[in-house]
Structure 1
Amino acid sequence: MLPPRTASAKSRWAWFARRLGAVLGLVAVGLVGWMWWASVLPGSYSALDMGVPDFGGGAGSEAHAVAHGHSAAAAAGAGAAVPASADGISVPELTADPDRPADVHVELTARAERVSIAGGEPFDGFTLNGTTPGPTIRATEGQLVEVVLRNEDVPAGVTAHWHGVDVPNAMDGVAGVTQDAVMPGQSFTYRFVAEQVGTFWYHAHQASHPQVVGGLFGALILDPAPETDAAAAADVNPPAVDVVAAIHTYPGGQRTIGGALGDSHRESAPGDIVRVRLINTDSTPTSAWVTGSPFRVLAVDGHDLVGPTSLADQSVQITAGGRADLEVRVPESGAVRVQVPGASVTIGPDGVDADETSAPREHLDLLSYGEPADVALDPEAPDRRFAYDIGRLPGFLDGRPGYWWTINGGMGAAVPMYMVDEGDVVVMTISNSSGEGHPMHLHGHHLLVLSRDGVPSSGSPWWVDSLDVVHGESFEVAFVADNPGVWMDHCHNLPHAAEGLMTHVAYNGVTTPFRLGRDTGNDPE
């Protein structure tokens, strides 16, 4: 109804303003409703449909675009021409030799139960073979490792992801991407050849945040084979004691090393050289420092550093999911204490203690630590360049309103899907303007850090599978696409991954039959 002709101009403008406000309100409600509806995911969908293909300036794949509903025009819009299709392969085909017998065989049984840590508060959690952490698995380079995972009664299902190990894609343990979750009463057998050397770990990648916090994790140590360069290097100063030190915070804020609250003790004689394998299994970065002895950082994320020098009064930052191997020498009198906030391990003769100190103010910068060396990778003329820009925006994620993490400005199905071909040299710039730090983890590959904030790496080649990117920081990294599959690339602050900070690096021509979504039982985060 229009205002009367006798109404004043002011009244007529007020009437129009009210009507306009009502119309704009309806439009806003409609827009919000459409945004909500568009964000709701199907009950079952493929991981390959969750992302806009980004070919990084390199060759695309028409076959991939057609198979997954991505048009050639959309692929070309990502900055690349779309060539002829590649031969297809499915994730379950990407395995180790099925006829080769296992050299190391391990059986793990996952249970949901009331967990008690000595001296701590009991909680409802999970165990592997009745313990948490689960058994340490140890193998030698070149051996075929076979692990049978059984789920006794974990209701949500379980998987095992081999963090930092470049396993064949079918063995990666990501529910809905490389396998289905192992439900109660079921089992799954993982098989892979230990082609790397170093400190790694394994953990659940189904409902991963509650399951990892609750206890479904363990250490994996891969030793060098005899008569290799790595074995020869280790023989120069062989450690008398090898300490596996998994750092973990259980429910209730119970900080542990190796499952022990507070300070634990490892017996060692004066003069002993000790390798301490620190594994950060938490979702946030931590720092470690040493009292009672100088120390060296021998390795990061399973890669030995070149020319590590002696350190004192410095702390070492270890990001979520990351590892650092420290070398210490037990003094002739006293002991060595390796500390992290809230827990420590003392190494020395029985009954001998070491000082407890606060964290040093100075942090070791791995960008300049050690000596440069040649790497089997030329990043100067890469086949593909990608941007991985981390941000945060309000919106809807699978129908849930919130303030969600974004990748290149997109969230949910609008994040980029990074497409590569086998053999590609890839350079990726990871930048963070989200307001919080993020420990970024690419499955199936290791990243060589080229620079941070434009400053080139000048120390030992710094290879990582877990990289802490703080707010305002930018890293340039490189890797070789030498492990075909569909690989998760996500924040290892596991709640962040569930809040949108997750995508994939996918090889052209590789497909997966596994499905994600509320109707599938698969929930990797």
Structure 2
Amino acid sequence: MADGNNLEQPAAGASADGGQERRTGRLRNRLVAVGVALAVLVPLAYLWATSLVPDEYSATGMGFADYGGGPGASSSEHDHHGGKSVVDLTGPRAGTPDVALTLTAREQRFTLATGQSVDGYTLNGTSPGPLIRAVQGDLVEVTLVNESVADGATLHWHGIDVPNAEDGVAGVTQDAVPVGGKHVYRFRAEQAGTYWYHSHQVSSEQVRNGLFGTIVISPRAAPAGPSAQGSRGTEDRDLVAAIHTYDDRRTINGRTGSSREDVAAGTRLRVRIVNTDNALVRTGLVGAPVKVLAVDGQDLNGPTPTTDAFPLAAGARVDLDVTIPPTGVRLEAGGGSLALAPPGVEAPADPLPSATVDLLSYGSPAPLALDPAKADRAFEYRIGRRPGFLDGVPGLWWTINGHKFPDVPMYMVTEGDVVTMTISNSSGQSHPMHLHGHHAVVLSRNGVKSTGTPWWVDTLEVGDKETYEIAFTADNPGLWMDHCHNLPHASEGLMTHLMYEGVSTPYVVGGSAGNEPE
């Protein structure tokens, strides 16, 4: 039996070497872990830091210049020197207005026409605010008084191609009007049509909660009846229907559920439908054929009778011509409805048809006032989405041409340019794209050319996996927003600008005025 004292023991040197190897291994593992952490954290820190939006910045310094292959294409800098300020691009300063009113903005609890209470915003104590009517050529003067909207407020004239200083975008064309302040807007009502107005300060909140109204501009000399845009004295044949959702309650002119208006059989009625919500609404009249007279304030050529529904983009408008039958008709707006029928008659309760009007082929073609084949600039507006940071907040954010706000392309033009723009969407959601200060004509969708009426828009629904080609003339100098009118999308970075070279602005986003256009 072996003596326990004679058991073989490891050499002292071998024990020291093993301990050293273990310590070296642990140190190596720690260094690898630190290296991996740094490899992850340093890029994240960089992405976080580069995503931060300054507390105060000018729209003219945002992103990078895109000249669309036109003059200045060799430069990546914005040219805003030696020209005009938006302050100079005003409507008429002199002259007695033909239409003058004051709109007082309040933050308050108010009651809808059907009795429900809403915490939000009003203009002159109501939401929607007052309907403004003008005649083409009228000088319009609107004074906005901010009585109690804490974040400030503005008025943007959606779809009316006003001079840039009158556009009402906080931090771009003016400062937000503070509590106790006022701002005067003056412009010529040059474009007959159906439009609306709303705040462009914290707009994703203020519009949703009631700070908006409608405006109708009639032709100076209009034939009788609603086949033209309407005229003074024909309001009984002209009805405005503003669709809006308050606290998940769909309304038409501030009335929830089903409402009605008595209209005698045989009346020829122009129904002006305005979508003030953030998403497309399938709308239309049930009970009689209609003609689509105008879209976004622009008359269509050769409209024909149809019973199809109309897909109305957020922010867009459509004018329908209908002769009221003895059985009446019903305006349907996705949860809200309005019966237009003779007294005592129940309007049809049928649902909207599944088919929809396609303006790519509706109506008759007509010559355009521009030649897209000779465009001076050709832009791409590719809408996408990817994870990352926006102003330090992680999330899944919208992109324009692969870039996140504020590092987005700024579309640069000079006055008189003919411009084409290809808008494509691979973001997974639909977007109603709104260009301020201009109307564009739709040339094609998904490569299929327009064969119907010239389809002029200021707000265009671009569905997921869709591509539109549009064209317009750069004939209204200024700095113009070009953004998604699903306003929360705009506040999440889906916005940029159309910028005329040589135009500058003294206003800033943020700053002491607290300007927040989206």
TM-score, length of structure 2 as denominator length: 0.92
Asked whether 1:282 is paired with 2:284, we answer no
1:105: Cα distance to partner?
A: 0.4
User: Any conservation in 1 of the 2:60–2:80 contact (CA below 8 Å)?
Assistant: no
Asked whether 1:322 is paired with 2:297, we answer no
User: Any conservation in 1 of the 2:91–2:165 contact (CA below 8 Å)?
Assistant: no
Instruction: Report the more deviating stretch, 5-14 or 145-154.
Output: 5-14
Distance 1:172 1:239, change over 3 A: closer
User: Any conservation in 2 of the 1:225–1:231 contact (CA below 8 Å)?
Assistant: no
Amino acid at match of 1:249: T
Q: Identify the residue that residue 270 of structure 1 maps to in structure 2.
A: 265
Distance 1:203 1:234, change over 3 A: closer
Q: 2:240 aligns with which of 230, 237, 244?
A: 244
1:211: Cα distance to partner?
A: 0.8
Q: Identify the residue that residue 341 of structure 2 maps to in structure 1.
A: 348
Separation of aligned partners in 1, 2:366 and 2:474: 21
Asked whether 1:388 is paired with 2:381, we answer yes
1:349: Cα distance to partner?
A: 1.6
Secondary structure in 1 matching 2:444: strand
1:5: Cα distance to partner?
A: 7.2
Separation of aligned partners in 1, 2:465 and 2:278: 20
Separation of aligned partners in 2, 1:164 and 1:468: 15
Asked whether 1:509 is paired with 2:505, we answer no
1:74: Cα distance to partner?
A: 2.9
User: Any conservation in 1 of the 2:111–2:118 contact (CA below 8 Å)?
Assistant: yes
- Superposed, 1:77-116 pairs within 5 Å as 87-116=82-111
Instruction: Report the more deviating stretch, 394-403 or 490-499.
Output: 394-403
Asked whether 1:29 is paired with 2:41, we answer yes
Amino acid at match of 2:68: G
1:233: Cα distance to partner?
A: 5.0
Q: 1:178 aligns with which of 173, 176, 192?
A: 173
Q: 1:209 aligns with which of 198, 201, 204?
A: 204
Separation of aligned partners in 2, 1:294 and 1:131: 34
Asked whether 1:445 is paired with 2:441, we answer no
1:378: Cα distance to partner?
A: 0.5
Q: 2:216 aligns with which of 208, 221, 229?
A: 221
Number of residue-to-residue matches in the alignment: 501
User: Any conservation in 2 of the 1:315–1:360 contact (CA below 8 Å)?
Assistant: yes
Q: 1:165 aligns with which of 160, 164, 167?
A: 160
Secondary structure in 1 matching 2:373: coil
Q: In angstroms, what is the RMSD of aligned CA positions?
A: 2.5
User: Any conservation in 1 of the 2:55–2:511 contact (CA below 8 Å)?
Assistant: yes
Instruction: Report the more deviating stretch, 318-327 or 262-271.
Output: 262-271
Secondary structure in 2 matching 1:32: helix
Q: Identify the residue that residue 7 of structure 2 maps to in structure 1.
A: none
- Superposed, 1:398-413 pairs within 5 Å as 398-413=391-406
Q: 2:456 aligns with which of 463, 476, 481?
A: 463
Amino acid at match of 1:488: M
1:6: Cα distance to partner?
A: 5.9
Runs of 5+ unmatched residues, structure 1:
62-71, 76-81
1:204: Cα distance to partner?
A: 0.7
Q: Identify the residue that residue 475 of structure 1 maps to in structure 2.
A: 468
Q: Identify the residue that residue 423 of structure 1 maps to in structure 2.
A: 416
Runs of 5+ unmatched residues, structure 2:
1-15
Q: Identify the residue that residue 362 of structure 1 maps to in structure 2.
A: 355
Amino acid at match of 1:503: T
Separation of aligned partners in 2, 1:233 and 1:116: 35
1:431: Cα distance to partner?
A: 0.2
Secondary structure in 1 matching 2:257: strand
1:328: Cα distance to partner?
A: 1.0
1:93: Cα distance to partner?
A: 0.3
| Rg comparison, structure with higher value | 2
Secondary structure in 2 matching 1:25: helix
Q: Identify the residue that residue 9 of structure 2 maps to in structure 1.
A: none
